Structure 1
Amino acid sequence: MSSLVSFVQGAGRVRPACLPILLTLWFLLAAPGARAEPYETEPLIDDEADLRALYEDGVLSEEDFETLRELLRTGVDVRTATRETLYALPGLTWAQVDALLAYRVRVEGSFAPEDLVKDGVLSARQFRRLRPFLTGEERGERDVSGHLRLLSAYGVADALVPPVLLQARVDGPLGFRGGGVASLTRRRLGSVRYDPRRRALVAELPSLVPQLPKLHVRWEGEHASVLVGTYRLGFGQRLTLDTTGRPAPDGFVPDEGFHMPGDPERRCMLAGTGACTAEGAQGRVTPDFGWTEGFRGVAGTVRGQVAGMALSFTGFGSHQSRDLSQYELFDVKNREAPDVLAVLPGKQVPGAAHFVSRTLPDVFHELAGGGHATVGFSPRAHVGLTAWGAWPVWAVEGVVLDLREYARYPGGGGYGAVGVDATWGAGPVNLFLEGARSFSGPLGAGGGFGAVQRTVLGDRKRELELTLRYYGRDFDNPYSRAVSSPDEFEGLRARNELGARLRYLHQTEDGAWRMTGRVDVWTQPPGGEVSGTLHLETSARVDYVGVPGLQPSVWVEHRNKDLGSNGPGLCFEGNAGTLPGGAPVPCAGEQYRVAGRVRLDPTEGLTLAAQYQHTLVGSRQRTGSFQEDGGALLEVLVRPLPSLRLHGRASWRDEDLSENTRLTQTLRTSLEVAWAAVAELGTRARYELALDLKAPVGARTPPELPQHLFRLELEGHF
């Protein structure tokens, strides 16, 4: 403990007031019986709507929500899934995964998921949490089965056709499966071209256009599998290549990801003379459904056994169109970011009207390919090699474009990475290691090194994880999803960072108490223009489930962007200013948050939940104290019939409790009705009312009008 205090004091000169918090967290981490999991909480859900509610309530982080959402959509078959795939399920440690694999060998893979509880592999509570993520049930005599989802959203103020999305998935005979996503967009810009007279890009105004962003067909056999279409893939410690978001990726999975429409956005997307009418400039409209851009092409895996060793090879090729923000582009000849002009109705040439903060579709086509080879010596020991490369082919003719330094992809030409990963485990110890070298620019002259090492110690009840990471300043790998801090360097998170993260979870033998926590410290590697700033993130959470039907939870968080510069009056969000050369000066403030949540299940058909969180955050508007934010919610879930479910929510958010003229102050209420008239057909409708609580007089921006939002979802199984 004294070594930790000396380290923090010497590195960052932490205020004495912060030491009790750090010492308390260190004591918790040092206590026996701690373990770490990929998720900070174990969600208790029935469907995707419940998962999204936890994300909106702040219970799940954005990264955890996206990973669990995709896992929920694709499903996991516990009878055939790999060790890494099983670890992605919420609530399982490596020891519990190994116990499940041992059970699977013992019964030769012939069991129903419910047998895991009957035979003592999982507790009833664990299985209840995992059940929505499991798939692979027997289909009986049907050779073909699947489901369809039709979704739409609408706002009362909309003057456009509502956005629509259709998702389909089919399971066929002989190991064939397929799926796709089709969407009707109204806010997506049209084709982009270059106007040499104005030295600017020109984009067509949005129109009603059907899109097919996701489509795949795959075949799975005993020793091989192939997928044609859209997919995501990853390996090892997510350092060299990962687009899955899973905590332990192991190959490719279908890409069917999409995003629900967010809050209504400004109807007018233009600025300049004659851009929009007064009514269009003030109005709001529901955004389109969005989707992720994974890979699109072919991926395949071959597996086998040679001399007692498990061999696996995965290869992939992709031709994917990439969308970019207009601010990520750079005109090489004119040495400036190009404007994006619009041709208004009734005019032949673009005028002064230009797009503001819009995504440009299909700016370049990415040709990518690579592979991964693995040699497995045991279920817990293997060595792998990953290599991939990509080349952008610009779709806009007449201009030489490149990417700015803060774009998501490296500029100057092609890019790629090569890495080696290894895993070893024995008894309660699991070791993971991966090192990689990225390449970018002409002839691969650019790029840098990165490394991740994880040590996991524990059993089925106790586990502790220490992750060490190093990402060089030039490690410009756009497809690295390794453990990293939330800040970015030149558009990437896993870059210019040296850090250590300690995560834990402790569960009592009777399962009544569950405690999780994390301490993450990082800085910039030596040798850069800016180095030595020490950042800190800590969190701790306690859940009690000892009383049936009652689950109280409490969690605290602390973030410090510069341990050497503490106190109120320092900004936490955005930048503190700019240097003489124009470079931004990062904020160096702090944020403290404490929250509590109580879930009550008095009967099988009724669930109540209440939550409150209070935040202290540094702000330049408060020189002598911290800005205080508040948030609360109430939730009621009623199931009067097995086929009918009513879900009501009311949430309040105030970003500065001391005044009501500057920041976000909202009240949202919603009612969702889900009804399954027959087993194969379900309907879900949601109404949401959003109120802006800012003062109508004296506010810097006038409060928004009340927003009435509707969502409709139809789902059918066959």
Structure 2
Amino acid sequence: MDRPRLGHLGGEVSEVSSLVSFVQRAGRVRPACLPALLTLWCLLSPPEARAESHGAELSIEDEADLRALHEDGVLSREDFETLRELLRTGVDLGSATREALYALPGLTWAEVDALLAYRARMGHSVTPEELVEAGVLTATRLRRLRPLLVQEGRGVGEVAGRLRLLTAYAAADALVPPVLLQAQVRGPLGLRGGGVATLTRRRLGAVRYDSRRHVLVAELPGVSPRLPKLHVAWVGERASVLVGTYRLGFGQRLTLDTTGRPAPDGFVPDEGFLAPGAPERRCVLSGTGACSGEYTQGRVTPDFGAAEGFRGAVGTVRGQVGGVALALTGFGSYQTRDLSQYELFDRRVCKDTTAGRTCKAPDVLAVPPGQRTPGSARFVSRTLPEVFNELAGGGHVSVGLSPRTRLGLTGWGALPVWAVEGAVLDFQTSARYPQGGGFGALGMDAAWGAGPVNLFFEGARSFEARSARGFGALQRTVLGDRARELELSLRYYGRDFANPYSRAVSGSDEFEGLRASNELGARLRYLHRTAEGAWRLAGLVDVWTQPPGGPVPGVVQLQTSARVDYAGLPELQPSVWVEHRDKDVSRNGPGLCFEGTDCGGEQYRVAGRLRLVPTESLTLAVQYQHTALGSRRHPSGFQVDGGAVLDVLFRPLPSLRLHGRARWQDEDLSDNTRLTQSLRSSLEVDWAVLPALSARARYELALDLKAPEGARTPPEPPQHLFRLELEARL
């Protein structure tokens, strides 16, 4: 939800005092809420427990398992993205840093420190099996982490790697299918490399400016190869360098982070890609004669996507001086970036952007095949390719006084260079990039730990060409041992804190295209497991509002969740979780909408999952989810949604895996003529043809269950979707 624009903050705001007054004001608004939350929190806190880094006990083997858990609501979007990147890059238990190890699900800071202490005692890189023998990890934990670890068993001078070929196709497609080729290689002497090549069919052609009509013009999509990701790296004991595409982050993710990891500490190769989602409308145009003919009707499989990180060179040097650990990272990037057409405006047409005025996005006209001039048809809701080039650079210096105590300084700057000649383009207020030209940030982070206590802090200033300077601060306190972990995060992000490369802890809404902006909040999280491993519980309370000082009082928002898993019986593992989201705790009850930018209603969700393992080769899982949310269509009650999942995993042979899945979703059980009413079923076959060669094929059937009579739009015809993946390992 886009929050209302506030006036300029009159001076700096003290984070601690503002948080105190904020909590007091939240209590006055709804006094019965806090005791209920505290009661729920106490009930979820047994004396013997073990923490987890994510909200659910995970059992995954590949990206398909991760995607299914995200669709089922088991994994949040942030956790899904983090684990997906870990699956693709891997973590080396024998050499990874403290921060990299903490990204693995199921490891607390205390367990990470125990692993590092064991590695230090051994004086050499340890194997995962050694960690199990020493009691640092359990065999069950290692089995769950195995897919997230780097490939093992290669000698120093050997070459290892993998090659993946992926494609997707729908029965209604009239185009060549999208194709993606991913390569990864690890060589001797610390050399590494990789890349991603795609074949696109839905990407617009080159964009130019029509000075007579003051519009943008783009060529119709066509089949073309792309190489969005490519890198070569060298990793040594004291230094490492990478040339190509990469992601990096530091500290508490406030000043700079594009990795998505919970505790970033440096750079990682950027090999990420996005698999095609649900079929989209074949026609990308609107206007007279835009979509005539059978070819333009129906739906088509989207292309593989690629999130844009940095592209250039980055390097890190580490050393010891008098017992003090020093690390220096520097980077430079020149990345070509795409942008949605609604994130742009033309300053020649709209010159006044003050006082909250919103400028209209420029039209993007299409050039018909065989013509040089555009017609009347225009593109709708499309991403414009290579709109601007971003020149960026910066660095980070870290001083480590002990393994758990260190100071860091991060600074970076960026300058957008518009690539559309003749146009005077700029970013809309709703875009995540600041208007007017260059932007950047400067911040300092600190970490300290002793015994069960870990303290983290980061403060940052953002800079932009409009001379606005915003301040942000984040403080985290983590208490725990190898049995439990409690985390309290306090955050303050000023209204003028405009940092597009900040991924700090924040609420789920946005302000002017950014999540970590115009926000004051606190988050409490407690994740644990009983000593014998039978019970596992997780809880979260997050409350935030707008900082004081604006002309409009801040709206207090609340998000809570709790989850209970039982794993005492390997054959029977139930899970139950509840979630609550309130966009305005001062207004409650039916009739208040929840979805929308001007809504302040509530959403309640309860879900249960039962996992059955009758034999070693067969696993069954069934899940049901019930959601009630405010809606204008239900002024005297709530809109009620339902969803159910049936999952069957069968291994008839060690080299063969069959995965069947059915997912039913019904938005608004009282009305079957609108919103989503669907049933999606799939069958996936994973066959290891040879030890170094595997194939994965997937068929999916999607049915639209909306009633044909009374519906605003007729139900979609059945969709038959196919996916194929081939993988070869060296």
Shorter chain as normaliser: what TM range? over 0.9
Q: Which has the higher contact order (CA 8 A, sep 6+)?
A: 2
- 1:614 is paired with a residue whose SS is strand
Query: C-alpha deviations, 1:492-520, integer Å up to 9, x for none?
Result: 00000000000001211111100000000
Q: 1:699 aligns with which of 667, 686, 711?
A: 711
**Superposed displacement of residue 485, structure 1:** 0.6
Could you say which residue in structure 2 is the equivalent of 1:65? Answer: 80
Q: Which amino acid aligns with 1:217?
A: V
User: TM-score scaled to structure 2, two decimals?
Assistant: 0.94
| Equivalent residue runs for 1:240-639 within 5 Å | 240-335=255-350, 336-442=360-466, 445-575=467-597, 586-639=598-651
Q: Given the superposition, is the C-alpha separation of residues 116 and 141 from structure 1 closer, same or farther in structure 2, using an over 3 Å criterion?
A: closer
- Deviating more after overlay: 162-171 vs 540-549: 540-549
User: TM-score scaled to structure 1, two decimals?
Assistant: 0.96
Could you say which residue in structure 1 is the equivalent of 2:94? Answer: 79
- 1:448 is paired with a residue whose SS is strand
- 1:97 is paired with a residue whose SS is helix
- 2:93 is paired with a residue whose SS is coil
Is the Cα–Cα contact under 8 Å of residues 12 and 534 in structure 1 kept in the other structure? no
**Superposed displacement of residue 548, structure 1:** 1.9
**Superposed displacement of residue 701, structure 1:** 1.1
Q: Given the superposition, is the C-alpha separation of residues 19 and 378 from structure 1 closer, same or farther in structure 2, using an over 3 Å criterion?
A: closer
CA distance in 2 between partners of 1:242 and 1:111 (Å): 29
| Equivalent residue runs for 1:172-211 within 5 Å | 172-211=187-226
Q: Which amino acid aligns with 1:568?
A: P
What are structure 1's unaligned runs of at least 5 residues?
Answer: 576-585
**Superposed displacement of residue 50, structure 1:** 1.3
**Superposed displacement of residue 529, structure 1:** 3.9
- 1:193 is paired with a residue whose SS is strand
Query: C-alpha deviations, 1:536-573, integer Å up to 9, x for none?
Result: 00000000111123211000000000000101111111
Could you say which residue in structure 1 is the equivalent of 2:355? Answer: none
Q: Which amino acid aligns with 2:420?
A: V
**Superposed displacement of residue 143, structure 1:** 2.2
- 1:291 is paired with a residue whose SS is coil
Q: Given the superposition, is the C-alpha separation of residues 101 and 9 from structure 1 closer, same or farther in structure 2, using an over 3 Å criterion?
A: closer
Q: Which amino acid aligns with 2:671?
A: E
CA distance in 2 between partners of 1:326 and 1:9 (Å): 39
Q: Given the superposition, is the C-alpha separation of residues 137 and 505 from structure 1 closer, same or farther in structure 2, using an over 3 Å criterion?
A: same
CA distance in 2 between partners of 1:670 and 1:530 (Å): 50
- Percentage identity across aligned positions? 73
Q: Which amino acid aligns with 2:648?
A: V
Is the Cα–Cα contact under 8 Å of residues 33 and 463 in structure 1 kept in the other structure? no
CA distance in 1 between partners of 2:310 and 2:229 (Å): 10
RMSD of aligned residue pairs (Cα, Å)? 1.7
CA distance in 1 between partners of 2:565 and 2:596 (Å): 33
**Superposed displacement of residue 32, structure 1:** 5.2
Q: Do residues 13 (structure 1) and 30 (structure 2) align?
A: yes
CA distance in 1 between partners of 2:44 and 2:491 (Å): 19
Query: C-alpha deviations, 1:307-366, integer Å up to 9, x for none?
Result: 110000000000001110001101011104211000112433111100000000110000
- 1:120 is paired with a residue whose SS is coil
Could you say which residue in structure 1 is the equivalent of 2:168? Answer: 153
Is the Cα–Cα contact under 8 Å of residues 318 and 368 in structure 1 kept in the other structure? yes
CA distance in 2 between partners of 1:4 and 1:566 (Å): 22
**Superposed displacement of residue 386, structure 1:** 0.1
Q: Given the superposition, is the C-alpha separation of residues 34 and 278 from structure 1 closer, same or farther in structure 2, using an over 3 Å criterion?
A: farther
Point out 4+ residue stretches in structure 1 off by more than 2 angstroms: 3-14, 18-38, 140-143, 278-282, 528-532
CA distance in 1 between partners of 2:174 and 2:547 (Å): 52
**Superposed displacement of residue 140, structure 1:** 3.7
Q: 1:122 aligns with which of 137, 159, 179?
A: 137
**Superposed displacement of residue 33, structure 1:** 5.5
Could you say which residue in structure 2 is the equivalent of 1:221? Answer: 236
CA distance in 2 between partners of 1:173 and 1:152 (Å): 32
- 1:114 is paired with a residue whose SS is helix
CA distance in 2 between partners of 1:309 and 1:190 (Å): 53
Q: Given the superposition, is the C-alpha separation of residues 479 and 199 from structure 1 closer, same or farther in structure 2, using an over 3 Å criterion?
A: same
Could you say which residue in structure 2 is the equivalent of 1:578? Answer: none
CA distance in 1 between partners of 2:98 and 2:407 (Å): 15
- 2:499 is paired with a residue whose SS is coil
Q: Given the superposition, is the C-alpha separation of residues 296 and 608 from structure 1 closer, same or farther in structure 2, using an over 3 Å criterion?
A: same
**Superposed displacement of residue 106, structure 1:** 1.2
**Superposed displacement of residue 216, structure 1:** 0.2
Query: C-alpha deviations, 1:555-610, integer Å up to 9, x for none?
Result: 000000000010111111113xxxxxxxxxx2100000000001111111111000
CA distance in 2 between partners of 1:529 and 1:394 (Å): 35
CA distance in 2 between partners of 1:6 and 1:589 (Å): 20
Q: Do residues 668 (structure 1) and 690 (structure 2) align?
A: no
Q: Given the superposition, is the C-alpha separation of residues 642 and 273 from structure 1 closer, same or farther in structure 2, using an over 3 Å criterion?
A: same
Could you say which residue in structure 1 is the equivalent of 2:356? Answer: none
**Superposed displacement of residue 111, structure 1:** 2.6
Is the Cα–Cα contact under 8 Å of residues 26 and 556 in structure 2 kept in the other structure? no
CA distance in 2 between partners of 1:296 and 1:10 (Å): 48
- Deviating more after overlay: 419-428 vs 404-413: 404-413
CA distance in 2 between partners of 1:261 and 1:436 (Å): 37
CA distance in 1 between partners of 2:395 and 2:721 (Å): 45
CA distance in 2 between partners of 1:652 and 1:493 (Å): 31
CA distance in 2 between partners of 1:468 and 1:9 (Å): 15
CA distance in 2 between partners of 1:208 and 1:77 (Å): 39
Q: Which amino acid aligns with 1:509?
A: A
What are structure 2's unaligned runs of at least 5 residues?
Answer: 1-19, 351-359
Is the Cα–Cα contact under 8 Å of residues 523 and 531 in structure 1 kept in the other structure? no
Aligned residues: 702
Q: Given the superposition, is the C-alpha separation of residues 22 and 662 from structure 1 closer, same or farther in structure 2, using an over 3 Å criterion?
A: same
Q: 2:700 aligns with which of 671, 685, 688?
A: 688
- 2:115 is paired with a residue whose SS is helix
CA distance in 2 between partners of 1:407 and 1:450 (Å): 19
CA distance in 2 between partners of 1:594 and 1:701 (Å): 30
Q: 1:645 aligns with which of 638, 642, 657?
A: 657
- 2:82 is paired with a residue whose SS is helix
Query: C-alpha deviations, 1:241-267, integer Å up to 9, x for none?
Result: 000000000000000000000000000
Q: Which amino acid aligns with 2:194?
A: G
- Deviating more after overlay: 450-459 vs 26-35: 26-35
CA distance in 1 between partners of 2:471 and 2:706 (Å): 49
CA distance in 1 between partners of 2:26 and 2:394 (Å): 46
Q: Given the superposition, is the C-alpha separation of residues 32 and 685 from structure 1 closer, same or farther in structure 2, using an over 3 Å criterion?
A: same
- 1:259 is paired with a residue whose SS is coil
